[in-house]
Copies of this chain bind each other. A is one copy, B any other.
Amino acid sequence: MTIRSVAIIGLGLLGGSIGLAVKARGLAVTTTGWDRDAEVRARAAARGLADTIAETPEAAVAGADLVILCVPVGAMADAARAIAPGLAPETIISDVGSSKAAVAEALAEALPGATIIPAHPVAGTEQSGPDAGFATLFAGRWCIITPPEGVDPASLEALSDFWAALGSKVETMDAAHHDLVLAVTSHIPHLIAYTIVGTASDLEDVTQSEVIKYSAGGFRDFTRIAASDPVMWRDVFLTNRGAVLEMLGRFTEDLTALQRAIRSGDGDTLFDLFTRTRAIRRAVIEQGQDDERPDFGRDH
């Protein structure tokens, strides 16, 4: 089984990048896109994010081998209900959501009997909307597929092959484990970035203008992450609540221990941690997951 036609529902950063990657890599796959926002559809047509931009969700999915829902995780159920009337029984339903157990449940409820295989390409930028996508977003990045129990092996293989053809490295794991891993590698980093940017902008004894002027000391990196799509991230935290709260608890314990070390002048504890964390950076670079140039190769 090979994917020959893909329907992309939601034409923001992720959906647009899928369409552009299919085209740029010259895959023998036709793409049809739809977005509930007419302005986004018009912009998607102008940029050529898909071969065809459909006017209705049913039309978008008609005859598709694979439908990928590229909407905020809180909107998955509505999107699934919108496409239901146009779906053929053999169509594979997948998505790109950042939390997986909740999405699997929502899709199974909205599309009973359908072949549902959730997935999560671990790739993105702080930009969103139909102008944000680009063809190389997935190159060298991991795509995690979370197949439900009893999944059809041929469908799973077809979905894996599709993501590999976009340049991704593909891994499978169960949804609960995905949600725990991503809580620590993505959701908590976003939560603390949003928090510190909020804290900094609310101070009375330090002005917002000072915070912005002197942001090159580290803060500006957090502002990038805290510029990510608010709807997407609200939904991530609401749908991956358990794992996020669990990991947040561990982070807070560790932060409290450092706070105590600072208060008591325990330099050894600080030095030991600060030395240990460098090894993680080296591994991230060695495994091709980040740019080794200082400061990510920002212009200087």
Contacts and interface: CB of A to CB of B under 8 A. Distances in A.
Contact of A258 (B123, B142, B195, B219): B195
Contact of A206 (B184, B220, B254): B184
Interface residues of A, number: 109
A287 B238 CA distance: 34
A184 B219 CA distance: 8
A255 B122 contact: no
How many copies of this kind of chain does the complex include? 2
Given A224-B281, A238-B270, A258-B194, A171 B218 contact: no
B221 A225 contact: yes
B295 A125 contact: yes
Interface in A237-286: 237-238, 241, 244-245, 247-248, 250-252, 254-255, 258-259, 262-263, 265, 267, 270-271, 273-278, 280-284
A146 to B, nearest CB: 13
Interface stretch (A28-36, A50-58, A77-85, A228-236): A228-236
A144 interface: yes
A90 interface: no
B238 A211 contact: no
A215 B289 CA distance: 7
Given A263-B241, A281-B223, A298-B296, A218 B195 contact: no
Interface string A207-221: 010111111111111
Contacts of A199: 184, 247, 250-251, 254
A5 interface: no
A295 to B, nearest CB: 5
A212 B284 contact: yes
Given A250-B203, A262-B245, A194 B277 contact: yes
Given A184-B196, A184-B206, A186-B219, 12 more contacts: A188-B196, A191-B255, A195-B251, A197-B277, A200-B280, A201-B276, A208-B280, A212-B284, A223-B281, A230-B274, A234-B267, A244-B262
Contact of A254 (B195, B235, B263, B300): B195
A197 B258 CA distance: 13
A227 interface: yes
A182 B213 CA distance: 11
